[in-house]
Amino acid sequence: MTRPPSTGIRTFARRSIPRRPTNAALREHLAQHEVGKLIEVVKCNRHGRRDALMVFLTYRHGLRAAEVVDLRWEQVDFKAATLHVRRVKNGMPASHPLTGREMRELRQHQSESPPSPFIFVSERGSPLSAPGFSRMVERAGVVADLGIKVHAHMLRHSTGFKLANDGHDTRSIQSYMGHRSIQNTMRYASLVPGRFKDFWRRPIDQ
């Protein structure tokens, strides 16, 4: 049996190169203490009080970047301590209660800000942009050194995870987050630690 003539070119079997795991392969939310670290970092910005309030409200109300920069004073009811949340992406609007801390910080921020219908504005009074807010959060994540690449939408996921971890029912979380489909809310319940804790309470041989 004769062998085919050699071409002089060596061939190698292709080896699959393991891909670097992304945030999606790890986690897409932050714990509450990690959000606290982000807030402490942005307090050192030139407009630290404003930036810290933006991050705090984004986390407390599960806002997207486009929603937090579009917040307007007309959405804040100081008498009723309520924030009327408007959602993008055809999300469901809702009225959220404001804590005492939020009320105090919003009042102080209002007294220090240029006149504008928007809550968060630049020195010239123009509304901030969603990409600008996202870049600010990403920079804060690097400085906070949380061991994970941080992006602005993680704050919204962190809200859902916190509410699910606190034991709130899925329907209520759906309304709070403004999800049209409950399937988008179910992801947070699947992340709750200890949800399978009592599955094997009895010995396996019983």
Tokens found for residue 27:
């986690």
For the question of residue 179 being annotated catalytic, the response is yes
Q: Which of 50, 61, 156, 157 is catalytic?
A: 156
Q: Which of 72, 151, 153, 187 is catalytic?
A: 153
Q: Which of 37, 61, 157, 179 is catalytic?
A: 179
Identify the DSSP state of 75.
Answer: G
Strands in the chain per DSSP E: 76-77, 82-85, 94-97
The residue among 79, 60, 179 whose CA lies nearest residue 71 is 60
Q: Which of 64, 87, 157, 162 is catalytic?
A: 64
CA distance 182 to 5: 64
For the question of residue 27 being annotated catalytic, the response is no
For the question of residue 89 being annotated catalytic, the response is yes
Query: How far does Cα 152 stand from its chain's mean position?
Result: 6
Q: Which of 89, 101, 171, 180 is catalytic?
A: 89
CA diameter of the chain: 95
CA distance 35 to 123: 26
Which residues are designated catalytic? 64, 89, 153, 156, 179, 188
